[in-house]
Amino acid sequence: MASRRNIAPAIGIDLGTTYSCVAVWQNNRAEIIPNDQGNRITPSCVAFTEDGRLLGDAAKNQTDMNPTNTVFAVKRLIGRRFSDSIVQNDVKYWPFKVVAGPKDRPKIVVNYRGVEKQFYAEEISSMVLVKMKEIAETYLGSIVKNAIITVPAYFNDSQRQATKNAGAIAGLNVMRIMDEPTAAAIAYGFDKITKGRKKTLKKTKDKKKKSVLIFDLGGGTFDVSLLSVVHGKFVVQATTGDTHLGGEDFDDRLVEHCVKEFKKKYNKDITGNAKSLRRLRTACERAKRMLSSSVMTSIDVDYLYEGVDFSTRISRARFEELNKELFTRCTDLIEKCLSDAKIDKTGVDVVVLVGGSTRIPKIQQLVQDFFKGKELCMGIHPDEAVAYGAAIQAANLNGERDKDVKNLVLVDVTPLSLGVCDNDGKMTFVVPRNTPIPTKKMTSRVTAIDNQTSCLISIYEGEIADSKYNNLLAEFTLDGIEPAPKGVSKVDVCFDIDADGILTVSAEVKSSGHKKKIVISKQNGDLTAAEIQKMIEDAAHYKAEDEKHKARISLEYLAEKLKSMAMDSGCSASEMKTMEEKAENAIAWLETNHHAEIGEINKQLKELKTTFPALCEEN
């Protein structure tokens, strides 16, 4: 029985660095939606080929053959500047090209149908979202618009806004940008993933408030959040993390190790060869996974570079050694989270592990040791928990009537402190980190010189007292201050953070009432409304191209099938001739009509199907 009729479904999407996952609330439970291959997670991968665009598994499966046009891990680029040292470091090891676009925003360069194309990270992410939307639509049999997209809790304002824009480009109505660990905490609270039956928050209802620590280590990001959970109310106490720490970094370390070994053995440097690097990376990721269950494995790549094979053995101990510093960073961040929440490690009731990289035994051991041998909760699926929790929250926002969903209360926090720069360059903190959101906070500034008529408002995020070491989000000048001796005129500055964690700052001259307001990320070199509109139109174009490509493949497949049927079906010579002729005509038509519109291709398809209804039976 559907839990609510006549209501458009709302989905939860975990848009991951390596894999994405989509879930929906249906029949009084959240369900993970499998893709067209039957997989419950889909690679966050987009490929561009001579024939068209490929998404998800289809894109990942052809990576080694087409490395420079297969794009992955764009979550590491989204909302960042090209000159960012993190971006510079990543692109060194990526087989696809990334260049500096306008306003220092990274652009991904690919060859699509023989033409060079450049895309922003938002556009590539939107393509992954299109795939997730389609997976949900196929499963639900209806159009899906409403969605929650999750992001690492430690994503900054610009990364959140960019993710929201990616959703809009994909044709989604993004109801909320939700923090991944918070979604995982909801999944934990509902505790239905492994049990597959309704077992609601009643479980925690009768008990006292629990402090739940979510340790979320995925493909590209790491978050640690502490929440209090009671009576279906989830309150984030503190969150911290690293938006650039995860499985991809562990892969990098292995790749680096192998590149050095290859150089030492054969005196050959493979770093300039995209195909070799990509193939080595695939083998390293596989070896990393193997080392979660074995203590020794091998990395073998035939003809890795200039005809030379590569083969090496790697032990779990060596892998741990290579990543030692990265692993330790994870426990350092747990310490920071607990200290922000002002709670001792003994006060944590439950430690929940989510994210694919928490399968690494050393990570599990380090977390367990940190909590002095405490049993870790691994009962919720590490790859699915985030989408699962997001689907529950999506159902809540969508007006689902199920009691437990309806009563869900979520209080999130802002991950980084926000403030303005004083006249002497010091940071005035307006919203301290870990402040519950939505929130509104004010500060006042006075004029620094006599007869000052305008005031520069510089907005920063970060924790350092000297503003210049923090991240400048935006600046604007407020005019309309009436001339007066210094220190007399006052400007009120208001920080308003919405439930998505997106910040709007407004400033007002007290005496004249003159005002100015900005939504930070829109002014910060990110996409304008017109740019987003253009990308929405482009996305529709790419979708139409995909459909055309699919229709061409169907026509080609039917024609080839007809040819083989003509040979095998035991029909008369004249029937055989007609079949062969029709099939050859269709193939010739495809060859001479490369730019045919979808309507024309479908017309050809229809003609074949109506002439040979037997074909329709199976297709």
User: Where do contacts with ligand AMP occur on this chain (CB under 6 A)?
Assistant: 16-19, 218-219, 247-248, 285, 288-289, 292, 355-357, 359-360, 383
Smaller CB separation from ligand AMP, 357 or 521: 357
Residue of 57, 180, 251, 412 with catalytic role: 180
Smaller CB separation from ligand AMP, 9 or 218: 218
Residue 135 CA to residue 149 CA, distance in Å, equals 15
Smaller CB separation from ligand AMP, 152 or 415: 152
**Three-state DSSP class for residue 479:** coil
Cβ 260 to ligand AMP shortest distance, Å: 21
Residue of 123, 179, 216, 252 with catalytic role: 216
* Alpha helices (runs of H) in 15-154, residue ranges in sequence order: 57-61, 85-93, 121-140
Q: Is 57 a catalytic residue?
A: no
Smaller CB separation from ligand AMP, 79 or 218: 218
Cβ 354 to ligand AMP shortest distance, Å: 7
Cβ 220 to ligand AMP shortest distance, Å: 7
Residue of 14, 179, 320, 496 with catalytic role: 14
Q: Is the dihedral of CA 202, 207, 213, 217 positive or negative?
A: negative
Residue 526 CA to residue 505 CA, distance in Å, equals 16
Cβ 299 to ligand AMP shortest distance, Å: 14
Smaller CB separation from ligand AMP, 324 or 440: 324
- Read off the DSSP letter of residue 482: P
Residue with nearest beta carbon to ligand AMP: 247
Cβ 249 to ligand AMP shortest distance, Å: 9
- Read off the DSSP letter of residue 469: G
- Read off the DSSP letter of residue 147: E
Q: Is 103 a catalytic residue?
A: no
Q: Is 180 a catalytic residue?
A: yes
Contact 122, 78 (CB under 8 A): yes
User: What residue type is 159 in one-letter code?
Assistant: Q
Task: For residue 291, give every residue at least 6 positions away whose Cβ sits within 8 Å of its Cβ, in sequence order, or none.
Answer: 297, 314, 315, 316, 319, 360
* Alpha helices (runs of H) in 443-572, residue ranges in sequence order: 520-523, 529-568
Q: Is 251 a catalytic residue?
A: no
**Three-state DSSP class for residue 203:** helix
Helix (H) or strand (E) segment spanning residue 310: strand 308-315
Cβ 5 to ligand AMP shortest distance, Å: 34
User: Over the range 507-540, which residues count as b (16 or more CB within 10 Å of their CB) and which as e?
Assistant: bbbeeeebebebbbbbebebbeeeebeebbeebe
Smaller CB separation from ligand AMP, 16 or 462: 16
Residue of 75, 164, 192, 548 with catalytic role: 75
Q: Which residues are annotated as catalytic?
A: 14, 75, 180, 216
